[in-house]
Chains A and B, each alone.
Chain A
Amino acid sequence: MTWLLAIAAGVLFAAGIYMILRRSLVKILVGLALLSYAVNLLLFNSAPLIPARPPLIPLGSSAPPEVYADPVPQALILTAIVISFGVTAFAVVLMRQVYGTLGTDDLNEMRCTDIPCKEVEIASEEEQMEEPL
């Protein structure tokens, strides 16, 4: 299963990367969602996969049985899942708002929201100084 999961996560990564390389806003959203799935699988796959042995300490004993699944990746993924919901919600609303305001979903048309599209005059003050030697 480790191999299968590695392949699944790899395909999810590939699909996610492909989607965030698109120019359409919504596709980037989908890409983000795919990437967070992929990362969760990556974390999950970093420990040995053990069926039906959750990291619980049975009643009457003070330690888990001999074989149990690694709890550390699980704790990491648990919060990651919840956070990714927050991030997805934020991204969805952000894109909805961007689309509503700019009226386009083409990222190439949004360039000027990120960088100054006009040439900016630099060092104009330098010339105003007296020229000494």
Chain B
Amino acid sequence: MKRSILLATAARYLMPLMLIFSVFLLLRGHNEIGGGFVGGLVAASALMLYGIAISPAALRTLLPVEPRLLVGLGLLAALTSGLLPVLTGRPFLTGLWLKTPLPVIGKVGTPLLFDTGVYFVVVGVVMWILLSLAEEEAK
């Protein structure tokens, strides 16, 4: 695949911005437009933009962990958020909230952990699928 210098340069700067935006979407998703699904998709798009503009291999070196690890972590986070209330004797997946809101993030509770899990699963799944295909293509 021929690379466009313009796209590659843009991707270098766009990618971090989009990632930050995706985290922003995730955190405010409970009160405003956004959420784990959208955040995860935006993050995945950002990473794939980088992967296509520069190269899948470059994206792979950039990623600190394997995408499938993200999937596992995400599922684990979602499951943990469901099991935490069970430990306190409430039904599975009951929302538990800290009394005092944290700075920047706002109110923190198990639904946020759940949403983070969704975020990671979505990023992981999309990256896993597309990166595997891109690497297959690059062979």
Contacts and interface: CB of A to CB of B under 8 A. Distances in A.
Given A78-B37, A82-B41, A93-B133, A56 B32 contact: yes
A89 interface: yes
B33 A54 contact: yes
Nearest to A86: B125
A85 B125 CA distance: 10
A78 to B, nearest CB: 6
B74 to A, nearest CB: 13
Contacts of B125: 86
A82 B33 contact: no
Contacts of B130: 89
A93 B137 CA distance: 12
- Secondary structure of the A side of the interface? helix
A85 B126 contact: yes
**What's the interface size class on A, roughly?**
under 10
B106 to A, nearest CB: 12
A79 interface: yes
B37 A79 contact: yes
Interface in A71-103: 78-79, 82, 85-86, 89, 93
A56 B33 contact: yes
B125 to A, nearest CB: 7
Interface in B39-76: 41
A2 to B, nearest CB: 24
B133 A82 contact: no
Contacts of A85: 126
A82 B37 contact: yes
Contacts of A54: 33
Nearest to A90: B129
Contacts of B32: 56
Nearest to B128: A89
B37 A89 contact: no
Interface of B: 31-33, 37, 41, 122, 125-126, 129-130, 133
Given A78-B37, A93-B129, 9 more contacts: A54-B33, A56-B31, A56-B33, A82-B41, A82-B122, A85-B126, A86-B125, A89-B129, A93-B133
Interface of A: 54, 56, 78-79, 82, 85-86, 89, 93
7 tightest Cβ-Cβ pairs between the two chains A and B: A89-B129, A82-B37, A78-B37, A86-B125, A82-B122, A56-B32, A93-B133
